[in-house]
Structure 1
Amino acid sequence: MPNARTLLAIPLAVTLIGLTSASAPPAAEPATDATLPLLVTRGKAPAAALLAHEAPWSTTAPGAPDAQPEQRTTRPPQWHFAQANRTTAADTTTGTDKSQAPATGTGSSAPTGRDPGANTGPGSGRSTDAAIRIRRTDHFRVGSITKTFIATVVLQLAAEHRLSLSDPVDLHLPGLIRGKHLDGRALTLRALLTHTSGLADYTTDTKGLVPLTPAEAVRTALAHPATAPGRWSYSNTNYVVLGMVIQQVTGRSYATETERRVITPLRLSGTSFPGNRTTLPSPHGRAYTSGGRDVTALNPRVAGAAGELVSTLADLDRFYSALLAGRLLPAPQLRQMLNTRAAEGSYGMGLYPQKLPCGTTVWGHNGRMAGSYVRTAATRDGDRVLTFRVNTDGVADPDLERTLLAAEFCP
């Protein structure tokens, strides 16, 4: 793995903008800023961006409990934003946009530039910096990061004794799961949360491109042989079923219930469940397949409760910070969420651990949709969190994700 300092020598026309207080000496460039351009060069993404957040205890944060005197701090949250994109040296713009900068602490932001437009980007013949650039406030599809939100709601309902993780699926959705090797009368909610149910992944058929109703998604999965029940096997179908359970228990859709319990209390103003809406909220950039096709317009029902959500970099940082700090779940449910025994260390409930080369373990999730890949990782206490994204299906070099996380979380 290359040393982060040596990566500065790699030639690339990128935009990496820093904003520092006028009264403070210039800070050393974060190690992530040396790594981020690699997502564009070796990773072959049109553009990449990250937003890191270090959030000490704050009594003013929405929904936060009062801090004890020994826990109080006057240190403001620290933000850092950086972005990189493919452009010519003549097109590269460096500067600051105070209208997008965090109100406190340090951070950075790319200037807004021209609005992204259709028929621009890789393969269009009209690729422009403005079309490809990822801005700090852009909305984008987060894919499977939706699962962390859904798992949070299910665990809140368990804390309220409105369901039990030991409940069989049939208790809430009678007759839904009847397969050759699977039966909803023996399949528990815990197995769905931990991906140990044996349900096949319906997106094996749809490739994440065909909108299905939840019932259709389950029928599609049941047409395939079950994976080994009790063994970890990642399947989007599990969380589609959990979305159906939320509606059955609460009388409200998973989207409405998540908005009520998570999005609104945390004031995640850039986060929403779009339903069948194919457009993204403004502002937003463009999304491209690995072949350069523009797939910005997409029906989110291709993923449903397993991946429908739209969000922003800042909202994802705030959500994972609040979740891991214990602001959304009581301690017993948070411990259950982080327990990876059922999945043999691979997965908890709606999030997973990753041990970095320095020995630090971070928690979070990734998300992949057509035209979008995003990854959020945070320390166990939620004090430090990083979200990065690219505006294509993934990063061509899979080792770069760990490299970037190590640059942020390893000393």
Structure 2
Amino acid sequence: MTAATAAAPARAATAVCLAVAALVAAAPPPSHTARLAQDADAVHRAGAVGVAAVLDTSSGTATAHSGTADTRTGRPMRPDDHYRAGSTLKTFVATVVLQLVGEGRLSLGDPVDRWLPGVVSGHGNDGRRITVRMLLQHTSGVPNVTRLPELLPALYSADGYYRNRFRHYTAEELVAAAVRQAPDFEPGTGYRYSNTGYVLAGMIIEKVTGRGWRAEVRDRLIRPLGLTGTSLPGDAPVLPAPYARGYHTYAEGGGGPVDTTLFNGTAADAAGDLVTTPRDVNRLFTALLTGRLLRPAELDEMRRTVPMPEEPGRRVGLGLETTPLSCGGFYWHHGGNALGYSSENGITTDGRRAVTVATNSFDEADEGRQDAADQAVKELIDHALCGRSAAP
């Protein structure tokens, strides 16, 4: 990347920071702030150990929190706590890929084999027939590496977590294990969420730029946008202070919540190795959806969606998803889960309202409890983006 190429995103991002800072000059209506607090309490009552929410609007910023960040001390969950946001990283990675497209350095129609010859091959997988667009939109058919308990035991049991939480993985190792499985479908003929596609996208970023995807995400997005609470920790398993501890209840074992705060993020690689705060997530999505990170042509490509068959009404673009709003229209978002953490976000199509909700627990053993917490989060987002007032 030349100095001139690097300077353009930086100048644009400076303008973004000023624009986002202007949002906090005033306060949103008290009734909206009260509704956010009510809804955060509802998420906690539904089963989340702790919850924090930040709502940015053209009138200002509202925050809410409920429950605890640390069950040992009882410290309250706070909106500035760091947490693992998992697949929200996919929006960052897709944005970098599309910036490279805008710079003429690769194309969404490039086959994977152009950049990674022979990496996706065997067992019916064929990188000559899979494009960069398919990777970003989960239409490649490449099997999802996180469906492999023998490779990623930390995701499947408490014993697996304790034995493997500091284990280092390479992107090549993750992809090689995934493509030993048969593809989910012929490239471009279906949709199925695949973390492997984003691990491959990270590898392509490195091939195109000569630098790791973490360096490109930092220099193009995190630093220019002033996302001071955001990091890509890799082998560093400890979160920066202040942070919310993560509590994961595994389906196996029945031993109750496990403190999964410590974790080596290379297991997720470019598909989900993200530590951040709700404020930073709002800032990234606001900058992106108001056209400050991508040229119109690339942003249009990012927002070109296909249906998500298993979730009627929802659609998926390139590192972005849409969900209908109860007040009409839809919102853009990309949530993420990590061991012991769950994060959801949303921004209106005009970019004037953005909300992020972070929780520090995930329950695989009691699906009803987790479903209730997830539904409460969705309602919080819908109320926040529709501008609902406090319930009487």
For the aligned pair, the TM-score class normalised by the smaller chain equals 0.7 to 0.9
3-state SS of paired residue (2:147): helix
Which among 51, 54, 57 is matched to residue 54 of structure 1?
Answer: 57
Distance in 1, Cα, partners of 2:335 & 2:91: 10
Which among 65, 85, 98 is matched to residue 83 of structure 1?
Answer: 65
3-state SS of paired residue (1:37): helix
Which among 23, 26, 36 is matched to residue 32 of structure 1?
Answer: 36
Which among 312, 337, 357 is matched to residue 368 of structure 1?
Answer: 337
Between 1:395-404 and 1:187-196, the stretch displaced more is 395-404
Which among 276, 287, 308 is matched to residue 322 of structure 1?
Answer: 287
Are the structure 2 counterparts of residues 143 and 24 from structure 1 closer, same or farther at C-alpha, using a change threshold of 3 Å? closer
Distance in 1, Cα, partners of 2:375 & 2:357: 14
The corresponding residue for 2:74 is 129
Deviation readout 1:121-151 (Å, 9 max, x if unpaired):
2xxxxx4421xx2222211111000000000
Name which structure has the greater RCO, CA cutoff 8 Å, separation 6+. 2
Instruction: Calculate the aligned-residue CA RMSD, in Å.
Output: 2.2
Q: Is the 8 A contact 1:194 1:343 kept in 2?
A: no
Q: Does 1:218 align with 2:194?
A: no
Which among 225, 234, 250 is matched to residue 266 of structure 1?
Answer: 225
Are the structure 2 counterparts of residues 26 and 370 from structure 1 closer, same or farther at C-alpha, using a change threshold of 3 Å? closer
Are the structure 2 counterparts of residues 150 and 304 from structure 1 closer, same or farther at C-alpha, using a change threshold of 3 Å? same
The corresponding residue for 1:164 is 107
Are the structure 2 counterparts of residues 203 and 324 from structure 1 closer, same or farther at C-alpha, using a change threshold of 3 Å? same
The corresponding residue for 1:390 is 359
- Specify the code of the residue in structure 1 equivalent to 2:48: A
Are the structure 2 counterparts of residues 176 and 402 from structure 1 closer, same or farther at C-alpha, using a change threshold of 3 Å? same
3-state SS of paired residue (2:315): coil
Q: Is the 8 A contact 1:372 1:391 kept in 2?
A: yes
Deviation readout 1:263-305 (Å, 9 max, x if unpaired):
1111111111112000001111211113321111111111000
Distance in 2, Cα, partners of 1:339 & 1:355: 16
Between 1:306-315 and 1:333-342, the stretch displaced more is 333-342
Q: Is the 8 A contact 2:82 2:240 kept in 1?
A: yes
Distance in 1, Cα, partners of 2:358 & 2:339: 13
Distance in 1, Cα, partners of 2:103 & 2:236: 32
The corresponding residue for 1:299 is 264
Are the structure 2 counterparts of residues 393 and 26 from structure 1 closer, same or farther at C-alpha, using a change threshold of 3 Å? closer
Q: Is the 8 A contact 2:28 2:62 kept in 1?
A: no
Shift of residue 35 of structure 1? Answer: 1.8
3-state SS of paired residue (2:62): strand
3-state SS of paired residue (2:81): coil
3-state SS of paired residue (1:393): strand
Deviation readout 1:217-261 (Å, 9 max, x if unpaired):
111111222111321100000000000000000000000001111
Q: TM-score, normalised by structure 1?
A: 0.76
- Specify the code of the residue in structure 1 equivalent to 2:257: G
Shift of residue 343 of structure 1? Answer: 6.0
Which among 88, 93, 112 is matched to residue 145 of structure 1?
Answer: 88
Distance in 2, Cα, partners of 1:271 & 1:197: 29
Q: Is the 8 A contact 2:344 2:356 kept in 1?
A: yes
Distance in 2, Cα, partners of 1:139 & 1:222: 34
Q: Is the 8 A contact 2:36 2:63 kept in 1?
A: no
3-state SS of paired residue (1:363): strand
Q: Does 1:275 align with 2:222?
A: no
**1:1-12 superposed matches below 5 A:** none
Distance in 2, Cα, partners of 1:262 & 1:388: 21
Deviation readout 1:58-113 (Å, 9 max, x if unpaired):
xxxxxxxxxxxxxxxxxxx5111100116xxxxxxxxxxxxxxxxxxxxxxxxxxx
- Specify the code of the residue in structure 2 equivalent to 1:390: T
Structure 2 gap ranges (5+): 1-23, 156-160, 250-255, 364-369, 388-392
- Specify the code of the residue in structure 2 equivalent to 1:227: D
**1:185-196 superposed matches below 5 A:** 185-196=128-139
The corresponding residue for 2:318 is 349
Shift of residue 370 of structure 1? Answer: 0.3
Distance in 1, Cα, partners of 2:282 & 2:295: 20
Q: How many residues align?
A: 329
Identity level (%): 37
Which among 380, 386, 389 is matched to residue 410 of structure 1?
Answer: 386
Between 1:250-259 and 1:290-299, the stretch displaced more is 290-299
Q: Is the 8 A contact 1:246 1:253 kept in 2?
A: yes
Distance in 1, Cα, partners of 2:371 & 2:140: 31
Q: TM-score, normalised by structure 2?
A: 0.79
Larger Rg: 1
